[in-house]
């Protein structure tokens, strides 16, 4: 019997870990250097969102063993790619849009991750509660970013950095704890060969 290739799963898992780490690094950079230009912020955030959205689409199609981390990633991936593209079109004059858009995306992702944490509990993953706590914290930070988008540029940059850092940590934890890859995973549809027995063989 054929087994499913683990290559797409490895690409999705390693890619999401890498991009999540990148989000953490970008978040720390924004916190440490809040006076960076708005244009640079827009370009960095836009490219990061497009890369993360593309990897989420790959994750959605990879079909790992538990299928928890990527189960809502078709919608989330498309949203991130569209949002990143809009930001890249005019990165200099979209600071409020960036904050509100990122805040909404992080809030929605926090809600999705909260649901994934409850699903993880059903699979017997003991650390499901830690994922739930991280999801609630991340969703709260995303909400703060949405409603505090009218503050000074430096304060917003710090909030944006905190939001990206929280999102990166949440996704890192989710991917590491819930994505399981096994080499002998069977396909969803079992392929079988059927033979027609003629009357002469009876």
pLDDT tens string for the chain (202 positions)?
Answer: 455 566 767 777 788 888 889 889 999 999 999 888 888 888 888 888 888 888 777 777 666 545 565 666 677 788 888 888 888 887 776 777 778 888 888 898 888 889 888 888 887 888 889 989 999 999 999 898 888 766 677 888 888 899 999 989 998 888 888 776 666 555 544 444 444 545 555 5
Closest CA relative to residue 13, chosen from 70, 66, 51, 53:
70
Q: Which of 27, 43, 46, 34 is nearest to 153 (CA)?
A: 34
The Cβ of residue 149 has, within 10 Å, a number of other Cβ atoms equal to: 19
**Cα 63 from chain centroid?**
15
> Which residues, 6 or more positions from 192, have their beta carbon under 8 angstroms from its beta carbon?
none
The residue extents of the domains of the chain are 7-179
- C-alpha triplet 27, 43, 172: angle, nearest 5°: 35
- Residue 36 C-alpha from the chain's centroid: 25
Q: How many CB atoms lie within 10 A of CB 2?
A: 8
Phi and psi angles of residue 149, each rounded to the nearest 5 degrees, phi first: -75, -5
The model's pTM is 0.74
Of 44, 36, 30, whose CA–CA distance to 163 is shortest?
A: 30
First to last CA, the chain: 28
């Amino acid at each position: 019997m054929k087994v499913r290739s683990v290559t797409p799963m490895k690409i999705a898992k390693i890619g999401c870990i890498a991009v999540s780490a990148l989000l953490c690094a970008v978040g720390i950079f924004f916190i440490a250097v809040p006076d960076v230009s708005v244009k640079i912020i827009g370009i960095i955030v836009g490219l990061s969102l497009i890369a993360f959205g593309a990897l989420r689409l790959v994750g959605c199609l990879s079909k790992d063993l538990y299928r928890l981390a990527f189960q809502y990633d078709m919608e989330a991936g498309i949203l991130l790619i569209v949002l990143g593209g809009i930001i890249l079109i005019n990165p200099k004059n979209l600071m409020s849009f960036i904050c509100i858009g990122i805040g909404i995306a992080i809030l929605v992702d926090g809600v999705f991750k909260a649901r994934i944490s409850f699903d993880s509990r059903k699979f017997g993953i003991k650390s499901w509660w830690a994922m739930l706590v991280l999801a609630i914290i991340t969703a709260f930070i995303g909400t703060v970013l949405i409603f505090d988008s009218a503050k000074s540029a430096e304060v917003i940059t710090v909030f944006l950095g905190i939001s990206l850092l929280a999102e990166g940590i949440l996704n890192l934890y989710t991917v590491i704890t819930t994505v399981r890859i096994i080499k002998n995973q069977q396909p969803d549809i079992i392929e079988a060969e059927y033979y027609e027995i003629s009357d002469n063989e009876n």
